[in-house]
Amino acid sequence: MTGKPIGEFSFKMTNQTNLPGPAGSVLVQVNFEGTGAGFGAIFDTSTFIGGGKDGTFSQVGSAYLDNGDVLNGIGQGTYVTKGKHRWATASIIQISDGRRLSSVGEIDLAARSWKGTLSEI
């Protein structure tokens, strides 16, 4: 789902925690930090389920805007393998100011980065 483009985001992975999930699955919880166009500094925790190839994820984050405001967001999305140690991601995020965003990106697991674009929907 796309909409009015806002800009790009760029995150670095700061740590990963593996947790036991339902029915013998593994929940991969990853903390990211970085920046997003119009959002200043962003801190995000995403939880991936489905294995190393594809699956779903949830995300919760906080953005510290340049004007001193703070926004929070909660989202859900999917990921699919896109080459060696790379995942293509797509998610919908509900922001605390009432906006909904579409996020499309790519996680480079080896480089510990997540980059992509944000659009308002």
Give me the domains of the chain, ranges plus CATH numbers.
4-120 (2.40.350)
* Furthest-apart CA atoms within the chain: distance in Å: 45
Asked if residue 1 has pLDDT above 60, the reply is no
Q: What are the tens digits of pLDDT across the range 3-44?
A: 899 999 999 999 999 999 888 889 999 999 999 999 999 999
| pLDDT score at 53 | 85
Q: For the residues of 34-81, what is the DSSP string, one character each?
A: EEETTTEEEEEEEEEES-SSEEEEEEEEEEE-TTS-EEEEEEEEEEEE
C-alpha 59: how far from its chain's center?
Answer: 6
Tell me if 82 sits within 8 A of 95, measured CB to CB.
no
Q: What are the tens digits of pLDDT across the range 36-82?
A: 999 999 999 999 998 778 999 999 999 999 999 999 999 999 999 99
Torsion of CA 72, 59, 103, 8, to 10 degrees: 60
| pLDDT score at 2 | 62
